[in-house]
Structure 1
Amino acid sequence: MRTMQSAVKLRGWVQAVVAVALVSVIAACGGGGGGDSSSSGNNSSTTLNGGSLPASPTQQPIAATAANTVPITVGRGVNGVINIPTVSVTVCAPGSTTNCQTISNIQVDTGSFGLRLVSSVLNSSLLNGGLPISTLASGAQLAECATFADGYTWGTVRTATVQIGGETTAAGIPIQIIGDKASSTVPSPGCGSGSAENTVSDLGANGILGIGTAPNDCGATCQNAATAANYSNYFACPGGTSCARTAVPLNQQVANPVANFTADNNGVIVQMPPVSNTGAASATGTLVFGIGTQSNNALAATQTFTTDAFGNMNNSVFNGTTVQAFFDSGSNAYFFADNSLAQCGSNFAGFYCPSSAQTRSITLGGVSSTRASVSIGILSASTLFSNSSNYAFNDLAGQIGGSSSFDLGLPFFYGRHVYYGIDQTLSGGQTPYVGF
């Protein structure tokens, strides 16, 4: 997940926009919303600042009416941050069907793994005992510092039954509760890179739903004592304090809920509608659970790529350099390094502001020999942000540190069906893959 919130413009939206209605226009084929998709390739040169953009994809999401689907909404959300796709998630105390709470505005993040909820949005019944804090064999509380490109979340690991749409986990699974531990307990060194994102305001959502290709959020790195000593996300907190990095078995690591559903648990499809090149007030898509398990989730990708365990296409090439590319719905822009693109000033720090519309191409390559070139469009962030009522953008891009990564964020998803096959190799099943 990489969600840029540092720009003054984005902060200003939070303060200045009193209310922005979520416009959800349901098309006849079951998708759509927020903007005239037919205009995506026909904007005037003035609107585009001159230059040209590649043709936009035009796939529509299916209707979110089946049990293995749930609507995705991009809009103003809880804090006015652009390009955050959200769903509603229900959590229950393990073993209970009544001590439950449905929480909206949970960010859909295909670049991370596991459910994380901000503690302040939970009711007291769940927060104060309903969702038990995980403990290690030593009796110490288990906490996690989950690090993202733009900050970190700190809080306990707890157990909850998770339901999304008509799908539910077979039993309680480990999740992270963000911000339920005092800031004084944040371990240093070992945590704290970037800004703390332990509140709804800081996170821009009520939580994060990590549904990428990995079944849990760290895997062998945190399981093995040798690597965990330096790289584990997890910390043992005896008495709830004095937290120290620790190894954690797989069954206590924060888990991808989809991999633990009773059915339709081998992957997801993120389906977003097309939006105008100049942005839209909102967009409504569909999150589909399972791939090839129901009549509505056949694998129909034109291109598929076998990836590493975490969904990365490590043999991709941009501007003649091998890069690690990934499809990340949790990033609100394309993020990559390109010195030929002008960066914005301080008001839009981190984003690109080219003087004319731009096209860039990247050749995607995963573990297998499959290669495919895709083109993306880029408009100046200052042009896009000039309409403060818009929250959905398909051509917003920004700078990333170094030249070894290419983050195909939410703009890539508009007008596409993007597939994620969950890694099942530990049980003798499929290798992880992505496709579109």
Structure 2
Amino acid sequence: MRTMHTTAKIKGWMQAVSAVLLTATLVACGGGGGSDNSSSSSSNNSNPPSLLNGGSLPASPTQQPIAATATNTVPVTVGQGASGVINIPTVSVTICAPGSTTNCQTINNVQLDTGSFGLRVVGSALNSSLLGALPVSTLSGSSAQLAECATFADGYTWGSVRTATIAIGGESTASAIPIQIIGDKDASTVPAQGCSNSGGSAENTVSDLGANGILGVGTAPTDCGATCVNASTAATYSNYYACPGGTSCARTAVSLAQQVANPVANFPDGSNNGVIVQMPPLPDAGAPSASGTLVFGIGTQSNNALAASQVFTTDAYGDMNNSTFNGATVQAFLDSGSNGYFFADSTLALCGSSFAGFYCPSSAQTRSVTLVGLNKTTAAVSIGIANAQTLFGNGGNYAFNDLAGQIGGNSSFDLGLPFFYGRHVYYGFDRTATGGSAPYVGF
């Protein structure tokens, strides 16, 4: 889960991060690597008896990703990654100092997250030459440095807002845009209001984050929008802080132009109206790795036609707020940054302390959630839930399509990375501020 919603809504990735990191230790001991089984289609007939144990899993989707060879594409990899966390899709991102074509660095193992908006990179992943050349933003009309705190279920990231030119695949932003550098500000500067008092610990290192950074390519063009522009709402909900002299950081309003920006929305016309996340099908028992493709633009080139069977218009953040599960209304979202399905279901047994937060049903299960868009498009989606402890029994697997866990409360249903395997998932960016189309998701 990588959410930058200003109302601090929680999506499930960090909900089970402790269990994930424990699992990662087991995975790392297994050696990882091995041949890439990502192109194997799922077949319930090939599942080991211990996985089903008298239960069954729904048929898995079978779409394959296109080759990441065009300018408007970049490879997506699920594997051991930066710190051995399971089900983390990663891409490579090149960061350049503003106005330079030589002071650049390509950062691998940046998590691809459709549940957030904007690029965030751990400062320690950057070389000193590039980091020193990225200008720290100052609040408009003052000399106060601009910083940001992103809060998650179990912690927060803290760091400066800087500007950089961003290239991904063969596309590049036309000019420098705001990004967040995680962990580059001294811990003593972390504000209590809305940050260190959010109930969790700092997540400012690669090992804590599980990646070298986060690439947020969800439906919003910036990470806070009007909430952070308006002084009255920013006083309570802003992610941004003004730091006079680099210290004494206090919550502040900030203009759209200074907010951390979705890089793809700043690519040249033809690649900037949305993205398509394409992941291969998986065996239900999991695979050592998976290789997919991120495509830039929708309906603008020969390789990015809108071919979704269902298209759901959403709120600004890509949420379908009138969806239903078990007879209750839920806020559903398709979030590649969550490494499992996360939802509340008291009929599913939870794992023991070694895998706390994940579901461990005695037999394989199927659940159905009905997605409802603002355009009234409705579709029932069936998901499979296998016993997490059984899945983790093969220490060499990092990619799973039937991993699920518990989320706090009954109001959210997080269709995380398992949903993406064997599908092409579309995200149309919110262009209503300029008279364009409303945000949407589709598959």
- Please state which band the TM-score falls in when normalised by the shorter chain: over 0.9
How far off its partner does 1:166 sit?
0.6
- Quick check: 2:219–2:440 contact (8 Å CA) kept in 1? yes
Aligned to 1:186: 190
- Gap change, CA 1:284 and 1:40, over 3 Å in 2: farther
**1:177 aligned partner:** 181
Where do 1:34-433 residues align within 5 Å? 34=38, 36-40=40-44, 42-128=46-132, 130-136=133-139, 137-192=141-196, 193=198, 194-263=200-269, 264-433=271-440
Displaced runs of 4 or more, over 6 A: none
Give the AA of the match of 2:227. Answer: T
Query: Is this contact kept in 2: 1:93–1:161, CA < 8 A?
Result: yes
Shift of 1:302: 0.3
Alpha-carbon distance between aligned partners in 2 of 1:91 and 1:282, rounded to the nearest angstrom: 26
- Contact 2:51–2:363 under 8 Å retained in 1: no
Q: What's the Cα RMSD here?
A: 1.3
Q: Which residue matches 1:29?
A: none
The letter for the 2-side match of 1:233 is N
Q: Residue 269 of structure 1 aligns to which amino acid in structure 2?
A: I
Deviates more, 1:183-192 or 1:60-69: 183-192
> Which residue type is aligned with residue 220 of structure 1?
A
- 1:37 is displaced (CA, Å) by 1.4
Identical aligned residues as a percent: 75
**Any gaps of 5 or more consecutive residues in structure 2?**
2-12
2-structure distance, mates of 1:331, 1:149: 12
3-state DSSP of counterpart to 1:47: helix
In the aligned structure 1, how far is the partner of 2:250 from the partner of 2:212?
A: 27
Is the alpha carbon distance of 1:216 and 1:359 closer, same or farther for their aligned partners in structure 2, counting shifts above 3 Å?
same
TM-score by length of 2: 0.94
Distance 2:395 2:176 in 1: 41
- Contact persistence 1:306–1:432 (CA under 8 A): yes
Q: 1:218, 1:11 → 2: CA distance?
A: 32
Alpha-carbon distance in structure 1 between the residues aligned to 2:226 and 2:51: 49
1:41, 1:56 within 8 Å by CA — same for their partners in 2? no
CA distance, structure 2, for counterparts of residue 41 and residue 425 of structure 1: 47
Deviations 1:83-137 (A, max 9, x none): 0000000010111111111010000000000000000010111111x11000012
CA distance in 2, matches of 1:434, 1:406: 15
Secondary structure at the counterpart of residue 46 of structure 1:
helix
Shift of 1:20: 2.2
Amino acid corresponding to residue 29 of structure 2 in structure 1: A
Change (3 A) 1:240 1:177: same
Provide the secondary structure at the position in 2 that maps to 1:82. Answer: coil
* Cα deviation code 1:178-203 (max 9, x no counterpart): 00011111110210332321000000
Q: Distance in 1 between matches of 2:27 and 2:164?
A: 32
Counterpart contact for 2:94–2:105, Cα < 8 Å: yes
Structure 1 counterpart of 2:407, which letter?
Answer: I
Q: Is the 1:51–1:358 Cα contact (8 Å) retained in structure 2? A: yes
Residues in 1 aligned to 2:433 and 2:62: alpha-carbon distance in whole angstroms: 37
Q: Partners of 1:212 and 1:236 in 2: how far apart?
A: 26
Distance change >3 Å, CA 35–CA 49, structure 1 → 2: farther
Give ranges in structure 1 of 5+ residues lacking alignment. Answer: 25-32
Q: 1:38 deviation in Å?
A: 4.5
Please report how far the alpha carbon of residue 11 of structure 1 lies from its aligned counterpart in structure 2 after TM superposition: 4.6
For 1:190 and 1:332, locate their aligned partners in 2 and report how far apart those are by CA, in whole Å.
Answer: 26
Q: Any idea what SS the aligned residue of 2:192 has?
A: coil
